Structure formats: structure tokens, C-alpha cells
Amino acid sequence: MLPLVLGLLCLLGGRTARGQDATGSRFVCNAIPPGAEPGCGYGPTGNRVQSSSSPVEDELRNTIIQLRETILQQKETIVSQQGTIKELNSKLARCEAAADESSQSKSRGQGSRRKEYGKNTMGDLPRDPSEVIDQLGKTMQTLKGRLENLEQQSLRLPSTNVSAGSVSALTPLPPELRELLRQRLGALETQLLRKVAELEEEKSQLYNETAAHRQRTESALNSLLERITELEKSNNAFKSPEDFKVSLPLRTNYLYGRIKKSLPEMYAFTVCMWLKSSASPGIGTPFSYGVPGQANEIVLIEWGNNPIELLVNDKVAQLPLSVSDGRWHHICITWTTRDGFWEAYQDGERLGTGDNLAPWHPIKPGGVIILGQEQDVVGGRFDATQAFVGELSQFNMWDRVLRPVDIMGLANCSAYMPGNVVPWVDANVEVFGGASKAALEICEDRAFDS
């Protein structure tokens, strides 16, 4: 290539020296100054000589310029191909490293294989198996497309062999380089397929493990539900529906019991119950009945150092009762709207009476009976300082005043007379916030306390 260019430069740069000799015309080559544009018009000393150029010289000059541009383009293309080949070699090296790491992970057991699955061995692969497979397929297609582009570019590269005035031959990619690329791409494709197979196997194993874990979880939950059902049945399996107690062990505003039945309109009532408490100061509120517009319709409370009080329509009467010795006591309270007359019994004995407690006031219907808390609004807004601490049982209510003999029979366990308005049965009582129900035969337990 270089001798040809020099020959053309000599042919263009020389001045024509014509002489009349036997050999005919001859040409003389003169030196061209560095950086000067090749062509005619320079003397022996290198000075530019003004002369006219012929069409042949212009054509040759243009051919040389085209050859220079072609050489520069070919050099840039070769540099680009070298960069592409380096990039492919880098990709192949990373794939081979991933293959070695994958083969080593197989000997570490199932647990380590699951950890290797989370690693980014390809540099830019996602963690999800389906996304990994798609990404590998796209990478393979990209590499194949780049190889085809290289081959097409190699077919378009101009040859350095120049004929009389144009580019005639095309230089393909060297066969050894093409074969090397094919081998590397084949190895990469094999590696990718192996990786895809491993990911599919890992995905199947993860699915099986997930299904087994879900089955074990459902089995454990079913067993727990069965156990809870058994415990609920055992708690409700009292000898008789009335042989149970409600325990309220803490002075809080969230432990309480609730009577499901409400009260009708009443002009008299008797309420009886068994209590056991050692709380101090004051046992709290054994029960309260609130209606819309009057949260203190009926309340029995011992608050702080005050004596036990009975509230009817928020009117107060102090009762001469004392039950905070930690033993079971039977108490009964009677009230009638006529003159607001009331009576207080403890363990069958009447300890006090009074009148003018909300006289001529009828007990309003449709309210809520709460065990263990005083209501500031109907069914709620409890105050922990007024909460009952202890145990209670046999809460019964009648819409009349019981006779003293009937109350004595209830206190000494010689008579059984459930309330005609609110009877003490398991189905009528529900507990909340940690309060509990437990079996209790009150007469036997009271005898044991004595």
C-alpha cells in the first residue's frame, strides 16, 4: 500500500522536464515540504511553482484523498471491532466464572443452593426465576445479533488493495476470529441453558416446600382451633347451669361481666348475690344498671373508705354491710317505689332499712346490667378506681320484694329460687377483658370457708 502511494506522490509531485534527446520525455521527482498538500507545482528547492494542472492530475489527486479517508475509516472500524471482541471476552469470562461457582454450590447441599440462588452471578440478573430466564434469553439474542452485525460490517470493509482508480475488493472477518467467536458463543449458550435448567429446578423445589409449609401451618391451626373448642366446652361443662362464678382479679377498667338480659319497667325489686372480696379500700362496684339518660339507675358500690351505697335513679342510701374479709357472703337488697323503702340483708339477716330513696320512681326498662364496673354511660366508660375486685356468683333479680324467710332460705342453701327477671345461668352471662367463669358449688365452697 505504502509503495503505491509513494509512487503516485512522485508521479504527481514532479515537474515535467522535457528534453530533445533520443530517449524521449522524462519526469523528475522533487521533494514536497512537510505538511504541504500533495500535487504539482514545487521546484527543486521546495518552493511552490505556479503551474496549470491537467485533468489526469486532478483525478489522481482525488483518488489519493479518497484512499486516505478509506484508510482512516478502516482503522476506526478495526478499533471498534477490537473493543467489541474485548467486551465479548469479558462476558464469556464472567459466564465461565458463574459456571464454576454453580458447580461448586451443588456440593454444599440444598441449603447453600438456596443461598446461591439469591446471588447476582451474572452482574445484572434479577432474582426472580422467570425474570432470570427471560433476561438470559434476551442476552443470548443480543450477542448473536452483535456477531451478525460484525460479520456484515466485515463484508462492507474496503480492501487496502487498490486498482487503477477505485476500491475493488472486500475484506471479510478473519476465519480464525470468526471461529473463535462461534466457539465462545456456543459455550455461552450451553452455560445459559444449564443455568435456566437449574433455575427451573430451584423454582420447582421452592414451590414444593411452600406447599408443604402451608399444609403444616393449616394443620397446626386446625389443631389449635380444636383445642380451643375443647377448652371452651370444658369451661362451660358445669354440673348445673347456675353452678359457676365470675372472677375479677384486678382493679382495671376493662375486666367485667355482662348480663345478656335487660330489665322491664319495675316498681319494686329484690337483688341477691354471693360475694367474696378482700379488696381495700372498698370492694368497688359488684353491679350497676344503666339506661339511656341515667347511667346510675341502680348501682351497688363501695368506693374508697365510704360504706356500701345503693343508688336508685342516682339517689343514694348507705347500707350497713361489711363483706371485705375475703370470705363468701350472701347479700340481698330490696326496694319499692312506694315511699322509696329499702332493706339490706347480709348472710340471711336484715341489718338495715330506710326510706325516701327515689320514692315513686319506676325503674326504667331496656338498660344494661354490668358486673364489676360502674357505668358513666350506658354499657361503658368505666373507672378503674370503682371496679370490683373479687368473685361473685348467684346474681338473681326479682320484680318484687322477697319475704325475709325466702332470703334466709337462699342464704343457708335450704332453698333454690332463681330470679324471675334475671336468673343466674351460664347462658345469660358473658365476660370480657380477662374476667373468667369457673365452676363453683357455692354452698360447698361456703362451708369450706367456714
Which residues of 263-367 form beta strands (DSSP E)? 268-276, 284-291, 294-302, 309-312, 315-318, 328-336, 341-346, 349-354
**Mean pLDDT rounded to a whole number for the chain:** 77
pLDDT at 50 over 80: no
Average pLDDT of span 278-307: 90
- Is the entire prediction scored with pTM above 0.75? no
Higher pLDDT, 53 or 372: 372
pLDDT in tens, 308-317: 999 999 999 9
What's the pLDDT score for residue 22?
A: 43
Residues 6+ apart with CB under 8 A from 53: 39, 40, 41
Higher pLDDT, 343 or 140: 343
Higher pLDDT, 97 or 322: 322
Average pLDDT of span 56-81: 76
Higher pLDDT, 429 or 448: 429
pLDDT in tens, 192-222: 888 888 888 888 888 888 888 888 888 888 8
What's the pLDDT score for residue 336?
A: 96
411: confidence class by pLDDT, cuts 50, 70, 90: very high
* Greatest mean pLDDT range, 101-105, 143-147, 232-236, 300-304: 300-304
Has domain 244-439 been given CATH number 3.10.20.30? no
What's the pLDDT score for residue 110?
A: 47
What's the pLDDT score for residue 108?
A: 55
Please, what is the Cα angle at 76 between 73 and 77, to 5 degrees?
85
What's the pLDDT score for residue 152?
A: 67
445: confidence class by pLDDT, cuts 50, 70, 90: low
What's the pLDDT score for residue 115?
A: 42
Residues in the chain: 450
pLDDT at 290 over 90: yes
* In contact, 27 and 17? CB cutoff 8 Å: yes
Higher pLDDT, 122 or 229: 229
For the chain, the structural domain boundaries read 176-235, 244-439
Query: CA-to-CA distance for 202 and 112, rounded, in angstroms?
Result: 12
**Between the CA of residue 314 and those of 294, 302, 303, 310, 326, what are the distances in Å?**
8, 15, 15, 9, 29
Higher pLDDT, 371 or 414: 371
pLDDT at 15 over 50: no
Query: CA-to-CA distance for 14 and 76, rounded, in angstroms?
Result: 33
pLDDT in tens, 230-239: 666 555 556 6
What's the pLDDT score for residue 182?
A: 79
pLDDT at 318 over 50: yes
What's the pLDDT score for residue 399?
A: 94
pLDDT in tens, 128-167: 556 666 776 777 677 777 767 766 665 555 444 444 444 4
What's the pLDDT score for residue 371?
A: 95
* In contact, 105 and 199? CB cutoff 8 Å: no
Rounded percentage of the chain residues whose pLDDT exceeds 90: 34
Q: What angle, 0 to 180 degrees and rounded to 10, lies between the N-to-C axes of helices 2-13 and 55-105?
A: 160
**Between the CA of residue 427 and those of 186, 210, 243, 261, 437, what are the distances in Å?**
79, 43, 12, 10, 11
pLDDT in tens, 426-444: 889 999 988 999 888 887 7
What's the pLDDT score for residue 16?
A: 39
Higher pLDDT, 176 or 250: 250
